[in-house]
Structure 1
Amino acid sequence: MTEKNVVSASVGRALSHQLQEADWLADWRESAWTSFQTLEKPWLEKTDLKRCQFEVVEKSPSTGSHLEARKLFESVTGSAVLILGNRIEAIRLTEEDKKNGVVLMSLHEASHTHRHLLEKYLGSVVPSSHSKWAALNAAAFQAGVLLYIPRHVEVSSDILIIRSEEEALESAYPRTLVIADTGAKARVAEMQFAKPAATSAAATSDVWEVVAENDARLEIGLIDEILAGPYRFYTRRAKLGKDAEVNWYAASTGDGLAVSDIESLLDGNGSRSNTRVLGTAVGRMHHDLTAKMTHAGRYSESDIVMHGVLRQKANAVFRSCTEIVKGAVEAGSEQHDRMILVDSTARADAIPMLLIDENDVKRCGHAASVGKIDPNQIYYLMSRGISEKLATRMIIWGYFEETILSLPVEEAVREAFVARLEKELD
């Protein structure tokens, strides 16, 4: 797409022309590129971004077979998208979803056929001003996906997006826009298949922006594979209308470098959102993850549960943040963070935050802990003839079980993720 270190000011327009997008989207991309150039590199406590130069780097696509991703796509029964590298390989929409008017297509094509939706919603939840990596994604996204659920439509089967990286890909910019119209209901998930790469200053930026209109309900599952290579930036944000509900279920594995943000903006009165995070880290992985709830609507409710297991020399920073702005009366929120250090060389920080600017609060609290597995639990299992290694695994699986079962995915996807976890914990 561009040469290393030197990126043309017209990158957005050139890419838009290459992807045959509408002219208005080319202008939108170029504006985002201007924001990217002017935004300062952010500073994150406990995460060093000095070596990340945010270069736009892409090698020629490999000829990899993507067997795991293809096999999973064929095994699921609901509507699904298969993305290989920076191209959408296939989109399958069930007959029921077609009949109900569900839209599942590339953002590039939608710039022509659904301009009214994109102009209203694209960038409304994750604007290019949100962060340097969000601006980079807006300027350079490829294989973008639009999912629109019409008013009062309840999607009966899970919708799955499968993304598989190219072997030679050094940077990527996937973007997903999910819109649930008034009264709509759906379960949506994304599963990523990553490939290890050489350490690079290139950055991968992944954006999900979700809109839940009044009375809409969305269950969203995110299964990330964070492998060694460039820094990976994940930005997932949802905006909720009156009495809307969005629940996030995020799971990650790997040994790479990542900065993740999951946030719900509870704008509507009576809106509700829950976030459950499950993460494992091995090797020298560094994962900086923030789960945030911003309460602006009256009587809004949220909860955050974050569980992590770290091995070897992995390092994780889990931030949970609840913000209740002035006027969000009778808002309620709780945070529960727990991180287990399997090896003494692993390190973790659990940082709960409460930002409250309203006196009339229904509930608001937090609890956080970092430590090893209770040796009494290990001893009890070993006294029943179970080895120490197996006892440790049993406790960890019990710790993860609720989140794994909550993932809004078909059984084939859950089994693929469990196999990934088994390998990580071996």
Structure 2
Amino acid sequence: MSVNRTLLSVDKSSLIDFISTREEPEWILAERLQALELVEQLPYPKLEKTRLEQWDFGLLGSHVQPRRVSSLQELPAGAASHVVSENVIVGRNSGVAFIRLSDELEGKGVIFTDLDIAVRDHTDLVRPYYMRAIHANENIITALHATARTGGVFLYVPENVHIEVPLQALFVQDQADAIHMPHVLIVAEANSCVTFIENVISSLGSTGSYSTNGMLEVFVKPGAKVSIVSIHNVEASVIDTTYRRAVVEADGAIEWIIGELNEGNAVSDTTTLIQGTGASSDAKIICVGKGGQKLDLTTRAVHFGKHTDSDMLTKAVMTGQSTAIINGITKIEKGASGTNGQQTERVLMLSPEARGDANPILLIDEDDVKAGHAASVGQVNAEQLYYLMSRGINKEEAQRLIINGFLMPVIAEIPYEDVQDQIIQLVERKLGIKGGA
């Protein structure tokens, strides 16, 4: 039996065979089968001015487990250059190829491993959280992920453990017939502190249509602080659909720093559920569109707890005939008194054919709150350009300076210089301006 719904061509019998061969606890096998039934029933996500049913996601593919390697030099060409941490997991296609965790962190009780291993060896830690912030029954994309996901990362930080160095996951898609659905699950116990860096890249060539369907769940316990740096840079032939979601308890804090730097069409949803009193969320996003790219990016903060804070800043640079839908949503639930929710969306147009749609949305069900938004869409300031050129700077260099200045409020927040340089190089390379690697 086949489920052919434009989104993906899914061979149900092959997925059932895959599930039946998995050496996993009964609970997760049951959830996979339940999710498979939902794939046939659920609609596409309802997105603002974006119809996913018109996109060509290609065939689903099959599960291709990578060979485990003992060093980063055995990875595909160029992959190792993205690694900036001594503590790193490299996922390749449908599984994990490399794991490295320092003895020091392991001695503190930190768990950083392949999610497939964690499901079996740390069931008591994984089961309460896996697919509990993102739910299989939300839409066809989440259902398919819950059905076919392999590999991914599980990061567990014990109570009161402060990790001073970042941990990193690099996900590489380099085999055309492989399912690529990485899942990251992070649990930061009370009063812990951690920074996690995620890179998603591809090396498939320019022909065909492919997709990557990644998800990231973060559970921030009371008083914990979690910083997430997520950089996506896949080829034009790959459609990237990404769900990021955090649940933050009392006095906890999450920081999102996101670079949506894909070459092809992309949809992302980054949501923070701010549940506990005194909790906070800070999200900073940059994206760059070129050619005929279509981007639909949503950043959302939902306030449940009292005296909570959220701030969102999105900066987009658009060129060619690219289009971007930028949605910022602040939702303040009844009872979330003393809340402060702010958001800003800025779109810089480098081409008269490019399109940017900034949609700031406030949904407020409580009186005793502060909330505000700002949005702007505009061309490069001609006076700024003229001023720089009048000082002997050529037009290309002047544009590079303006673009870097526009994006720097986000990039400068990244606490690691290597990652800052990586993002600047990706931006400049994508826009075809000098300085790109």
TM-score normalised by length of structure 2: 0.90
SS at match of 1:254: coil
Which residue in 2 is equivalent to 1:31? Answer: 34
Which residue in 1 is equivalent to 2:409? Answer: 402
Q: How does 1:87-166 map to 2 (within 5 A)?
A: 87-166=95-174
The 1:144/1:19 distance shift into structure 2, 3 A limit, reads farther
The 1:59/1:17 distance shift into structure 2, 3 A limit, reads closer
SS at match of 1:50: helix
Amino acid at match of 1:340: L
Conserved? CA contact 1:266–1:293, under 8 Å: yes
Which stretch shifts more, 55-64 or 24-33?
A: 55-64
1:171 Cα offset (Å) = 4.6
1:234 Cα offset (Å) = 0.6
Does structure 1 residue 310 correspond to structure 2 residue 318?
yes
Q: Distance in 1 between matches of 2:305 and 2:151?
A: 34
Which residue in 2 is equivalent to 1:268? Answer: 276
- Superposed CA offset, 1:235-270 (max 9, x none): 000001001000100002133111110000001011
Which residue in 1 is equivalent to 2:47? Answer: 44
Structure 2 unaligned spans of 5+: 68-73, 433-437
Which residue in 1 is equivalent to 2:11? Answer: 7
Which residue in 2 is equivalent to 1:414? Answer: 420
Amino acid at match of 2:11: V
Q: How does 1:254-403 map to 2 (within 5 A)?
A: 254-361=262-369, 363-403=370-410
Amino acid at match of 1:366: H
1:221 Cα offset (Å) = 0.5
1:9 Cα offset (Å) = 5.5
Structure 1 unaligned spans of 5+: none
SS at match of 1:376: helix
Which stretch shifts more, 124-133 or 50-59?
A: 50-59
Conserved? CA contact 2:42–2:140, under 8 Å: yes
Conserved? CA contact 2:94–2:179, under 8 Å: no
1:152 Cα offset (Å) = 0.8
Does structure 1 residue 211 correspond to structure 2 residue 219?
yes
Does structure 1 residue 232 correspond to structure 2 residue 235?
no
Alignment identity in percent? Answer: 29
Which structure is richer in relative contact order (CA contacts within 8 A, separation 6 or more)?
Answer: 1
Q: Distance in 1 between matches of 2:401 and 2:166?
A: 29
Q: Distance in 2 between matches of 1:406 and 1:169?
A: 38
Conserved? CA contact 1:170–1:230, under 8 Å: no
Q: Distance in 1 between matches of 2:424 and 2:19?
A: 38
Q: Distance in 2 between matches of 1:88 and 1:180?
A: 22
Q: Distance in 2 between matches of 1:411 and 1:242?
A: 31
- Superposed CA offset, 1:94-134 (max 9, x none): 12211111101112111221111121111110111222211
The 1:108/1:370 distance shift into structure 2, 3 A limit, reads same
Conserved? CA contact 1:254–1:285, under 8 Å: no
- Superposed CA offset, 1:365-424 (max 9, x none): 10100011111111111111111221111011011123223235x443433333222211
The 1:92/1:315 distance shift into structure 2, 3 A limit, reads same
Tell me how large the CA RMSD over aligned residues is: 2.3
Which stretch shifts more, 154-163 or 250-259?
A: 250-259
TM-score normalised by length of structure 1: 0.92
Amino acid at match of 2:220: A
1:168 Cα offset (Å) = 1.5
SS at match of 1:415: helix
